[in-house]
Homo-oligomer: A and B are copies of this chain.
Amino acid sequence: MLDAHAEPWGIMRLPASGFVGAFDGVAAAWRATHPHAQAIACGMVGSAQGWVRAAYVPCPAGVDALAERLAAVPERGLHVVPGLTSAADPPDVMRGEETQIVGALALRPALSAASCVVLPGTHSKWARVVESNVVDFATFMTGELFAVLRDHSLLGRPARDAATTVDTATADDAFARGVRLAFDAAHGVAPLLFSARTAVLAERLDPAASLHYLSGLLVGDELRVGLARYGAPDALVGDPALCERYATALRTVDRPSVPVLDGAAPAGLWRVAECAGLVTDA
């Protein structure tokens, strides 16, 4: 790598100058010194609300299929990776994670033959990879569910009102209790959610730890369903702190430890760019 530049922007948080301004804010200096360099991006920039609309490529699909369907913003030399759509009914979709999966296979080639790759996040993805293709995947809204329940439901109130903070051991214990309860709940998490409040009322849960317990319930439910449908994950991909939380949850339910892969997105963008012939010696 020659240089790196990061901004906290996203499709919900663009600078006033919009996509053009965001791109130029990151890339204008590079383009001034390398006027023929090509650029590549993935994720919501290619959505209907994005800068240019990129396709959804149907599964099974790998890096070749993605490289063939790039969308373009010619005036900026920018190429945008398409998303993926599953064969389910209704079909599931991803945008951005397909590139992280390509990157994960590049970083760890042993995943290519047959593996389960999990990408924790606002909308967690569980993907099955066979012979370097994503053959199936499913979305769990774990992160968004947690955020809306924390910020807007009765379940967030004990922690919002708590006068004290919680020590790490108590927080970890509450998370593990939630994980185990939801993981063992044959019928799913719905009838357990209210316990994030009632356990506080019954003084069996520190109010300040109640969000860790709620987070454990939601992650435990995701693991229960994901493991039943996709088997044990072979890699956790994405934000390292969040992946470590999932790794902890897997250990809590006695599953083997799983490698955490960071930097999958740039690795995947590079692989797609290579495959599309965008990487030249110049």
A interface, CB within 8 angstroms of B: 85, 89-93, 123, 138-142, 144-145, 148-149, 151-155, 187-191, 193-195, 198-199, 201-202, 204-205, 221-222, 224-225, 228-229
Contacts and interface: CB of A to CB of B under 8 A. Distances in A.
Contacts of A139: 191, 194, 198
Nearest to A200: B90
Contact of A188 (B93, B142, B202, B225): B225
A148 B140 contact: no
Contact of A93 (B85, B92, B198): B198
A193 B141 contact: yes
Contacts of A193: 141, 145
A228 B221 CA distance: 18
B92 A194 contact: yes
Contacts of A191: 138-140, 225, 229
Contacts of A148: 148-149, 152-153
A198 B153 contact: no
A189 B187 contact: no
B153 A190 contact: no
A229 B201 CA distance: 24
A54 B240 CA distance: 47
A190 B188 contact: yes
15 contacts: A89-B204, A90-B195, A90-B202, A91-B202, A123-B154, A139-B191, A139-B198, A141-B155, A145-B149, A148-B149, A148-B152, A152-B152, A187-B188, A187-B224, A188-B189
Contact of A154 (B144, B151, B194): B144
A198 B144 contact: no
B153 A194 contact: no
A270 to B, nearest CB: 28
Contacts of A153: 141, 144-145, 148
A229 B186 CA distance: 11
Q: Which of A151, A198, A225 is the most central at the interface, judged by chain B CB atoms within 10 Å of its CB? A: A198
A109 B56 CA distance: 58
A135 B145 CA distance: 32
B194 A225 contact: no
A190 B90 contact: no
Contacts of A141: 153-155, 190, 193-194
